[in-house]
Structure 1
Amino acid sequence: MEQGIATWGTPIELLERHGPGVSSALFIAVVGWTAAAWAARSVRSLGKKWTQVDATLIPLLASVSRLTILTVTTMAVLERFGVDTKSLFAVLGAAGLTVGLALKDTLSDVAAGLVLLVLRPFDVGDAIEVDGTSGVVDAIDVFQTRLTSFDGVPITLPNSKVRSAKIQNFTRAQRRRMDLTIGVSATADIAHAIATLRDVLSSEPRVLPEPAPSVDVVELAEGKVNLLVRAWTLPADFFPARLELTRHFKERLDAEGIVVPIPQRELHIPLREPERRSAPFL
């Protein structure tokens, strides 16, 4: 006991020696903790008013602001206790570099996710195509983007792949153009066929009048003439109108006696005359 008092001093001496530092450290800790909580609440509150920022980004910004203030507070408290924060920063920097190299792909996904959430090339509910993968956006997370394909299959894409790929947003298009190739018999009356297809287009209410739809010869193929039909619709009407027009084209062409040829091959196999056998010599 006496040896401990001789080494550390009496409680009063300890309080006189370390009291101011402990008091200031506690004060800094309380203020920093309070400021961190206030900053997180403020970001969440302002996030409800920032309509241009995706709602998924608000919790992340709140966490980042809170952790930043807590980190600065922790460093200030350690300095009050005489800890060399420069050495601590060096150790943390080396550890961060090691972790960063190990989690390179994950950090790339996080960075790409932040860019997607800020730039917003698409929103939840948009129909998009990313590098050949199509579907409706279900969620945009920090690490990945989740879609549901048009045939109902869930799709998960890493944000880094989405960010670097070509993105087509069908929902944001003001209108979409459909191209349909209709083949008619090479002996058919082309003018009559074109007039028939144009009449079908004019009777479809989902086809926009401007730009005007068009029908013309696009190719002289083997045994048929291909007609290219181009028409514009609203994005929501694209697939229903395309399916309906395809059916109506076939029905009207049949009704008008215009043949839509089916690819076929005719094989002609010549029959060889039976060889005459000479009678055996007697």
Structure 2
Amino acid sequence: MAGFANLSQAARTWSIGFMEFDPQNAFNNAGAVLRQLSALLVSYSLSFVGAVLLLVIGYLVAGLVERWLNAALAHIHGFDLTLRNFFSKIARYAILVLVFIMVLGQFGVQTASIIAAIGAVGLAIGLALQGTLQNIAAGVMLLVLRPFRIGEDVQVGSIRGTINEIGLFATSLHTSDGLYILAPNSSLWSQPVTNYTRNQTRSNAITVRIKPDADIDQAQRALIRLAQSDSRVLADKTPSASVSEVADDAVTLTLTYWTAVGDFGGTKNDLTKRAKLTLDQQGLSKV
């Protein structure tokens, strides 16, 4: 009986609602809803079209800026290829991020909060990759200031070798005995660099010992003539021979001369040998 009573009550309520139904009012309400939907559709359609245009134009502009910046940096004498590509990519991605934020603004998204979130994420990534970012910063400085180039013989702290490649994170070298070294850029940037091949000429010195009672002037003249007779010794920088040490058992003479960088090692070896033979022949060298 209770269920039948509830059903009867529902029927009466529906009948009353149906009797109160106003077709004109419902039509007006439906028309208003349709107009609002049409306005929203038009608004979001325009936003969508604008977003697509922004994406297309932004993508094209980013590519043009990347190529233009790469070409412009290529005209700078000595500007490294790795550094050119790095700055060009940075400019490209910066434009794309800006375009993405503008697209979100087309749909009413609060871009200020997005920028703040990007900044927070960037800060977190920077703290997490602090060591890596130090290497990148050091790599950029090495590529800009160029304390060494590929093929040059350098020493940085305990590291000595010839440069193979200068990257954004690390620099590779090989030693004179064939060993491979990969050094983080931060360790190379934070220490003094000795570049043995950057300058075109180098000074060198060899030492010899003569008898304590030998004629020092004769020995000095013999060493200077020996250096001057070698075509690899530069004529515009006159060789010199000086007394560097006097002891009871011997006198030490130092022959100083200049050569081109490429002749440094060979000239030193030959002059050292010939100096010993020359002083031996004149009876001046210390046995």
Per the TM superposition, whether the score is higher than 0.5 is yes
Measure how far apart 1:45 and its partner are: 3.0
1:116 to 142, 147, 166: 142
1:56 match: secondary structure: helix
Equivalents in 2 of 1:133, 1:205: separation in Å? 33
Specify whether residues 239 and 79 from structure 1 end up closer, same or farther in structure 2 by C-alpha distance, changes over 3 A only.
same
CA contact under 8 A between 1:8 and 1:14: conserved in structure 2?
A: no
CA contact (8 A) 1:100 1:107 kept: yes
Aligned to 1:180: 206
**Which residue of 162, 171, 174 maps to 2:197?**
171
* Identical aligned residues as a percent: 34
**Residue segments in structure 2 that go unaligned for 5+ positions in a row:** 1-32
**34-43 vs 48-57, which moves further:** 48-57
Structure 2 CA distance for partners of 1:248 and 1:9, relative to 1, 3 Å: farther
The structure whose residues are more often helix, as a share, is: 2
Q: Which of 42, 45, 54 is the aligned partner of 1:28?
A: 54
Give, in angstroms, the shift of residue 257 of structure 1: 2.3
Write out per-residue CA displacement over residues 82-101 of structure 1, whole angstroms, 9 at most, x where no aligned residue: 22222222222222222212
Distance 1:20 1:117 in 2: 47
CA distance in 1, matches of 2:242, 2:90: 59
Q: For 2:258, what is the secondary structure of its paired residue?
A: strand
Q: Which amino acid aligns with 1:70?
A: L
Structure 2 counterpart of 1:240, one-letter code:
G
The residue type equivalent to 1:39 in the other structure is V
How far 1:71 sits from its partner (Å)?
A: 0.7
Aligned letter for 2:88? A
Shift in Å, 1:55: 1.6
- Which structure 1 residue ranges, 5 or more long, are not aligned? 1-6, 262-282
Q: How far apart are 1:103 and its partner, in Å?
A: 1.3
Among 17, 21, 41, the alignment partner of 2:67 is 41
Structure 2: how far apart are the matches of 1:8 and 1:83? 25
Instruction: Tell me how far apart the structure 2 counterparts of residues 56 and 222 of structure 1 sit (CA, whole Å).
Output: 60
Tell me whether 225-234 or 164-173 shows the greater mean CA deviation. 164-173
Aligned to 1:267: none
Report Cα offsets for 1:11-33 as digits up to 9, x if no partner.
Answer: 75542241122121111111111
Higher Cα Rg, which structure: 2
Residues 98 and 182 (structure 1), Cα distance of their counterparts in 2 relative to 1, 3 Å cut = same
Question: What one-letter code is carried by the residue in structure 1 that aligns with 2:124?
Answer: T
TM-score using structure 2 length: 0.81
**What letter is aligned with 1:199?**
R
**Does 2:226 correspond to 1:200?**
yes
| Shift in CA distance, 159/204, structure 1 to aligned 2, threshold 3 Å | same
- The alpha-carbon deviation at position 225 of structure 1 amounts to 1.1
State how far apart, in whole Å, the 2-side matches of 1:222 and 1:43 are: 70
Residue of structure 1 in register with 2:240 after alignment = 214
How many residue pairs match? The answer is: 256
Question: Which segment is superposed worse, 186-195 or 245-254?
Answer: 186-195
Q: Which amino acid aligns with 1:50?
A: I
Deviation at 1:227, TM superposition (A): 0.7
SS of the equivalent of 2:81 reads: coil
- What is the correspondence of 1:136-147 to structure 2 with a 5 Å cutoff? 136-147=162-173
Assess, with a 3 A threshold, how the Cα gap between structure 1 residues 33 and 179 changes in structure 2: closer, same or farther: same
State the partner residue of 1:98.
Answer: 124
**1:190 Cα deviation after fit:** 2.3
Partner of 1:62: 88
> Which whole-Å CA distance do the structure 2 matches of 1:243 and 1:11 have between them?
92
In the TM superposition, residue 9 of structure 1 has moved relative to its aligned partner by: 9.6
1:230 match: secondary structure: strand
Distance 1:34 1:11, change over 3 A: farther
Measured on the aligned residues, the alpha-carbon RMSD in Å equals 2.4
Cα distance between partner residues in 2 of 1:222 and 1:92: 77
Helix, strand or coil at the partner of 1:223: coil
Mapped pair 1:79 → 2:95: no
Which amino acid in 2 is paired with 1:221? A
- CA drift of 1:8 comes to 11
